[in-house]
Structure 1
Amino acid sequence: MGPLNPSKAELVIALICFFTIYGVLGRVLLPRARRVLDERADAIEGGMDRAGNARQEAAAQLEEYRLQLSGARREAARIVQEAKEQGALLIDEARQQALQERARMIAAAEAEFAADRALVEASLRVAVADLSTELASRIVGEPLAEIATDSPAIQRYLDDLGDFTTTD
């Protein structure tokens, strides 16, 4: 008989073996394979869903970050503006203090100058009185040094001389 024309006994044994293998495969291996395939499909679809959710969360977080960043930039600009204003106020205060100090120093210098001028004028009055009496002594030919420098004649002379110099 040949492979194309089997005997009935071989055919029965082949059919029993076929159905046994088919039953084992259908009941044990095929459900396991389907379960594994379903798990893989679920993992793939779930992974895609999770990736989509993660993408949406990332987009939401990015938008929130951008909002926070713009808020931080506005806050930084406000702080810089406040610092500029405070700096301008400090500069104005320092300028006012410097102007006041300058005015005080000028007033002190003018007072010191006036005091020095009064001292110089007094010493010059004495020197002019001495020189005038010496010159008068030479002109007259007699010593006039005994005449006191605070005599009325010398005082009038110095007053007239002072009036002459202050009119210039």
Structure 2
Amino acid sequence: MVAHSSAARAAAPAEEPQGIELFLPAGYDIFWSAVVMAIIAAVFYKLVLPRMNAVLDERASLIEGGIAKAEEAQKQADEALAQQQQLLAEARADAAQVREEARAEGTAIIKDLKVKASEEAERITETARRQIEADRQAASVSLRTEVGALATGLASKIVGESLEDSARQSRVVDRFLDELEASQAVASNKEA
């Protein structure tokens, strides 16, 4: 019966796989799959992989070049910024110096104008003093002449004697005015 069961098994159609055998392929499938996989791997290794590596290397070099360019651009931008800040600081220093010079120049101009104004005021004051002195002398001469004529006329009437003589008239007028000035001087000394 043992022979019969082996023969029956061999004659019987292939049994359905069960258990873990359901997940495992047959041996010939594994062999032919490995052969096809080896052929694909060889083609991939010989043809596709070098091209892919070349493309990746090219991209890497482009990226590295881009990074180097970006670093160079950043370095140039930093240098330009530093130069701009230095120029700005110099411009500010120049502006401060110009302001200080303008202030100093303004102060000098103001001092100069004050000196000129003072000199002009002194000149005007001196001119006014001279004019006043000239006017006072002219008024004094005019007053002497008028007062002399009035005094002479009055004295002539009082004394009854004619004082038409100009020398005599001049002496009388001068004496009268001197006495008048002396009396004013005494009065001003008493007030002081």
- TM-score normalised to structure 2 length: 0.64
State the Cα deviation string for residues 65-100 of structure 1 (Å, max 9, x = none).
222222221221112111111111111111111111
Question: What is aligned with 2:7?
Answer: none
Of 50, 55, 78, the residue aligned with 2:69 is 50
* Structure 2: unaligned runs, 5 residues or longer: 1-25
Partner AA of 1:164 in structure 2: S
Question: What is aligned with 2:53?
Answer: 34
> Quick one: distance in 2 between partners of 1:44 and 1:150?
127
Matched, 1:70 2:89: yes
Question: Do the aligned residues in 1 keep the contact of 2:156 with 2:163 (CA within 8 Å)?
Answer: yes
Question: What is aligned with 1:146?
Answer: 164
Distance 1:93 1:124, change over 3 A: same
Matches for 1:125-140 after TM superposition, within 5 Å = 125-140=144-159
State the Cα deviation string for residues 126-166 of structure 1 (Å, max 9, x = none).
111122123334444x4746343744233212221233335
Partner AA of 2:99 in structure 1: V
Match of 2:108, SS? helix
Identical residues among aligned pairs (%): 33
Partner AA of 1:35 in structure 2: A
Question: What is aligned with 1:98?
Answer: 117
Of 106, 113, 121, the residue aligned with 2:140 is 121
RMSD: 3.1
Distance 1:131 1:116, change over 3 A: same
Distance 1:124 1:165, change over 3 A: farther
Name which one, 1 or 2, has greater alpha-carbon Rg. 2
Matched, 1:158 2:190: no
Q: Report the CA distance between 1:32 and its aligned residue.
A: 4.2
Partner AA of 1:165 in structure 2: Q
Partner AA of 1:56 in structure 2: K
> Quick one: distance in 2 between partners of 1:166 and 1:116?
21
- The total of aligned residue pairs comes to 155
